[in-house]
Amino acid sequence: MNKTLTLLREHNLLREIDDELDIYLEIPHVAYIEVKKPTSQALLFTNVVDKKNNKKFDEPILMNVFCSPKAVELLIGDGDAIASEISSLLKMKPPSGFRDKISMFNRLFNLKSVFPKRDKGRGECQEFVKLADEAKLSDLPVLTTWEQDGGPFITMGQVYTQSLDGNMKNLGMYRLQVYDDNTLGMHWQIHKDSNHFFHEYKKAGKKMPVSIGIGGDPMYIWCGQAPLPIGVFELLLYGFVKKENARLVKSITNDIYIPRDVDYVIEGFVDVENLKIEGPFGDHTGYYTLQEEYPFMKVSAITHKKDPMFAATVVGKPPLEDKYMGHATERIFLPLLQTTVPDLIDYYMPENGVFHNLIIAKIKTFYPGHAQQSMHAFWGVGQMSFVKHAIFVNADAPELNDHSAISEYILNRIDINDLMISRGVVDALDHSSPKFAVGGKLGIDCTGEVIDDLHVNIIDNHLLLEKMQDISLHVKDLKQYHIYTQNPICVISVEKQSCQKELFEALKPLYEHIKILVIVDEKNNYLDNEYMLLWRVVNNIDATRDLYFADNCMAVDATNKNEYDGFNRRWPDDVSCTPSVIASLKQRHIIDIDDKFEKEFLL
Ligand SMILES: Cc1cc2nc3c(=O)[nH]c(=O)nc-3n(C[C@H](O)[C@H](O)[C@H](O)COP(=O)(O)O)c2cc1C
């Protein structure tokens, strides 16, 4: 980790904060605000306390290590360059079926002889060893990020697991809830690799060994979040990108090998018979994840380096450091996706679409239905299957991250009578789907020509709002976007008193003025904040339930769902900062933000 600090310092990407700050809310709030700034830096908190338990920690906490594109380039490399290296290797012999693809990964990594090396003896991460009752999770400065969180969570844990026969290894980045001094929750979601291993151990009735690394080379954590298929050990990616083998040592109390240079290792065994309620936790969707049952580990050892540093991240509403991590991942996976969708030119997952809530993909189309065929392919590939809303554009479309140009291109081509609405796997974190982990999918084919002009009679915002309020006083505000395209968008905020389909039907006399009507709740939404509106809409809708069509008009109901909508799950709250913590940090001059900033990011 010291190398990381030096690198960040050399590039003016690190700030030390010596003020005394609490692991409960304060430190995460400072990091949350910092990483939203265009000039954001990594933060090293050197004066860390646990006020509630009257405790001071010796170790500093490092946060926002992936604070900017520059930091990612320094710590991971140039995503485009790595992608083109992968691409040229893949061109040697493209894989056919799924099995071939797995062996393709292994071949890819084998080419560079990048298999992790196992060293004998102890690693630096094992300079200090605490076993059994001596190994206490409360000795670590584990953060509680949000006030509704179910407790403290390790947020940058590298979770190392292996299959029952030991042949397959995995590194996954999952959050880990601290329940007590030696019980740690394992939030590997239902679709994730460690969960598959867990079921093997459960079936065999054997306890599952797990070791968790914290710190060391930040590349470990980046590899841990990379969506590689089961059976491909993420440390191969480490070796491939770094051009040097990861060096591993054996854990002290189980058989799992972990990188020798991580700052901490938490070792233990997962109980396969019992589960614990995990959460709530303010997640990267910007909402609290609902409580669910998850496995937990009993800690058998905690080891660390001589002068360890504790690594953590903060997740919540975008933008956060997963924006920068995610972008590098997106670049590197382009050539791999192209093996499944050969006509794919590029794709883009904007962070305010919380990655899998929105994808825009550019393809070379050759025949009718080509875009739909590619959408199905995406929905069939590993974690891409979580994508809820897919918009496909043709080769002549502008750059996908040129927001204004691509929005115009898309809106000139959406045919609302030709949308693909389907169902399938969604992310375990999705809160809008009627059922856990299964929900609606929307595919929009914008690869065709500009659609015919439907002569929407656009009128002024105030006048249209007045007309709407003549019909329903529950409509509170209105703003129109992209009025010069074939699909102008009219966003309204409402005080919800019924299912919004009724409102849409009541607005029928105004359909001549509307093409796409987007409805959000009045509370917690600002109609002039396009970035957070997109975040809200793609989070809150389920395509099978929330799209209404009538007379060449379409409504997108992005309000919070409840009994009016026949919604039976619990709708979670937004993740928001605690006002008293913000006020205190401001008063102590630790943060300096104004109302505009708070509104811009819906703090
Ligand atoms: C900041 C951050 C936190 C994450 N937390 C979790 C988590 O708690 N549970 C989970 O299943 N995935 C989580 N993920 C996503 C996984 O790391 C990602 O899906 C990874 O590919 C899983 O690896 P696996 O397929 O080897 O299981 C997180 C990703 C990031 C960037």
Rounded distance, CA 332 to CA 327, Å?
A: 9
Q: Is 531 found in the same domain as 480?
A: yes
Here the tokens at position 36 are 């939203």
pTM for the full predicted model: 0.94
- Out of 312, 328, 348, a domain closes at 312
Residues 351 and 422 in one domain: yes
Task: Assess whether the previous peptide bond of 280 is cis (omega < 30° from 0).
Answer: yes
* Tens-place pLDDT, residues 299-326: 999 999 999 999 999 999 999 998 998 8
Give the distance (Å) from ligand 1 centre to CA of residue 510: 45
pLDDT digits (tens, 9 = 90+) for 173-183: 999 999 999 99
Instruction: Please tell me the least confidently modeled range out of 74-88, 105-119, 420-434, 527-541.
Output: 105-119
The percentage of the chain sitting over the pLDDT mark of 90, rounded to a whole number, equals 85
Would you say residue 600 lies in a domain?
A: no
Residue 180's beta-bridge partner residues? 183
**283 and 349, same domain (yes or no):** no
> What is the percentage of the chain residues whose pLDDT exceeds 70?
96
Same domain, 389 and 296: no
- The answer to whether 523 and 447 are in contact (CB under 8 A) is no
Query: Is 18 part of any domain?
Result: yes
- CA–CA gap between residue 513 and residue 444 (Å, rounded): 23
For ligand 1, which residues put their CB under 6 angstroms from it?
170, 172-175, 187-189, 192-194, 224-227, 284, 313, 315, 322, 325, 383
Give yes or no: residues 88 and 212 share one domain: yes
Q: How confident is the model at residue 335 (pLDDT cuts 50, 70, 90)?
A: confident
**Adjacent-strand bridge partners of 479:** 491
Ligand 1 pocket, mutate which of 67, 158, 222, 225 (most atoms under 8 A from CB): 225
Task: Give the span between the Cα atoms of 213 and 367, in whole angstroms.
Answer: 49
Return the CATH number at 233. Answer: 2.30.110.10
Structure tokens belonging to residue 532: 């957070």
**Structure tokens that stand for 472 in this block:** 């329903």
Tens-place pLDDT, residues 138-169: 999 999 999 999 999 999 999 999 999 999 99
Using DSSP bridges, classify how beta strands 489-494 and 153-154 pair: parallel, antiparallel or unpaired: unpaired
Distance 278 CA to ligand 1 centre (A): 15
**Mean pLDDT over the full length of the chain:** 93
Within-domain flag for 139: yes
Q: What is the CA(578)–ligand 1 centre distance, in A?
A: 26
Instruction: Examine the domain organization and report whether 87 and 176 are in the same domain.
Output: yes
Domain boundary among 312, 329, 357: 312
Closest alpha carbon to 285 in 33, 40, 24, 537: 537
Tell me whether residue 252 is exposed, middle or buried, using C-beta atoms within 10 angstroms of its C-beta: 0 to 12, 13 to 18, 19 or more.
middle
**Total domains in the fold of the chain:** 3
Backbone CA torsion sign across 476, 481, 483, 489 = negative
Residue 417, both tokens: 């009578």
589 falls within a domain? no
Q: Per residue in 44-66, pLDDT tens?
A: 999 999 999 999 999 999 999 99
Q: Which residue has the tokens 């605490």?
A: 130
Between 98 and 199, the more confident residue is 199
Closest residue to atom 9 of ligand 1, CA basis: 174
Distance of alpha carbon 31 from alpha carbon 14, whole angstroms: 12
In sequence order, the 6+-apart residues with CB closer than 8 A to the CB of 397 are 362, 406, 409, 446
By three-state DSSP, how is residue 41 classified?
coil
Among 446, 479, 499, give the residue marking a domain's end.
446
- Burial (0-12, 13-18, 19+ Cβ within 10 Å), 57: middle
Q: Which atom of ligand 1 is nearest to the CA of 170?
A: 26
Q: State in Å: Cα 218 to ligand 1 middle.
A: 15
Give 102 Cα–ligand 1 centroid separation in angstroms.
Answer: 20
Whether the CB-CB separation of 310 and 214 falls below 8 Å is answered with yes
The percent helix, strand, coil of the chain (3-state, each to 5) is 30, 25, 45
The closest residue, in CA terms, to atom 7 on ligand 1 is 174
Q: Helix, strand or coil for residue 493? A: strand
The boundaries of the domain holding residue 281 are: 2-312
The whole-number pLDDT of residue 102 equals: 61
Asked if residue 108 and residue 19 are part of one domain, the reply reads yes
Distance (Å, whole) CA 72 – CA 322 = 11
Contact call for residues 275 and 259 (beta carbons, < 8 A): no
Q: Which atom of ligand 1 is nearest to the CA of 227?
A: 21
Q: What's the gap in Å between 322 CA and the centre of ligand 1?
A: 11
pLDDT tens sequence across 73-124: 999 988 888 887 777 666 655 555 656 666 666 666 656 567 899 999 999 9
- Nearest residue CA, atom 29 of ligand 1? 225
Please report the atom of ligand 1 found closest to the CA of residue 176: 8
Q: Does 453 fall in a domain? A: no
Give the torsion through C-alpha atoms of 470, 474, 476, 481, to 10 deg.
-80
Considering the domain boundaries, does residue 86 fall inside one?
Answer: yes
User: Rounded to whole angstroms, how far apart are CA atoms 128 and 505?
Assistant: 68
Return all residues near 110 (Cβ < 8 A) that are at least 6 apart: none
44 and 174 co-located in one domain: yes
| Closest-lying ligand 1 atom to the alpha carbon of residue 192 | 27
Q: How far is the CA of 172 from the centre of ligand 1 (A)?
A: 6
The answer to the question of residue 456 being in a domain is no
Burial of 571 (0-12, 13-18, 19+ CB in 10 A): middle
Q: Residue whose CA is closest, atom 22 of ligand 1? A: 172
Atom of ligand 1 nearest to the CA of 315: 1
Both tokens assigned to 119: 């060293």
State mean pLDDT over 449-475.
95
| Cα–Cα distance, 97 to 602 (Å, whole number) | 45
Which atom of ligand 1 has the smallest separation from the CA of 325? 31
345 shares its domain with 202: no
**Cα–Cα dist 170/172, whole Å:** 6
Residues 6+ apart with CB under 8 A from 206: 164, 272
CA-proximal residue: ligand 1, atom 15 (nearest)? 225
Which CATH number covers residue 373?
3.40.1670.10
Quote the tokens at residue 561: 């769902």
Angle in degrees, CA 528, 324, 249, rounded to 5: 150
Distance of CA 161 from the midpoint of ligand 1 (Å): 14
- Residue 346 to residues 78, 89, 191, 332, 401, Cα–Cα distance (Å): 17, 18, 26, 11, 11
Is 560 within a domain?
yes
CA of 234 to the centre of ligand 1 (A): 12
Residue 392: closest CA among 375, 412, 407: 375
Domain check: are 192 and 237 in the same one?
Answer: yes
User: How many C-beta atoms surround the C-beta of residue 290 within 10 A?
Assistant: 18
Regarding whether 82 and 44 lie in a shared domain, the answer is: yes
Phi–psi pair at 284, nearest 5 degrees: -75, -5
- Whether the upstream peptide bond of residue 319 has omega within 30° of 0, thus cis, is yes
| The pLDDT of residue 438 is above 80 | yes
Q: Cβ contacts of residue 352 below 8 Å, gap of 6+?
A: 318, 319, 531, 532, 534, 535
The confidence score (pLDDT) of residue 46 equals: 97
Same domain, 54 and 186: yes
Amino acid code (one letter) for 406: I
Question: Position 547: which residue type?
Answer: L
Question: Which residue's CA is the closest to the ligand 1 atom numbered 13?
Answer: 174
Determine how β-strand 310-312 pairs with β-strand 61-63: parallel
Residue 389 makes CB contacts below 8 A (sequence gap 6+) with 353, 357, 358, 359, 441, 442, 444, 538, 543
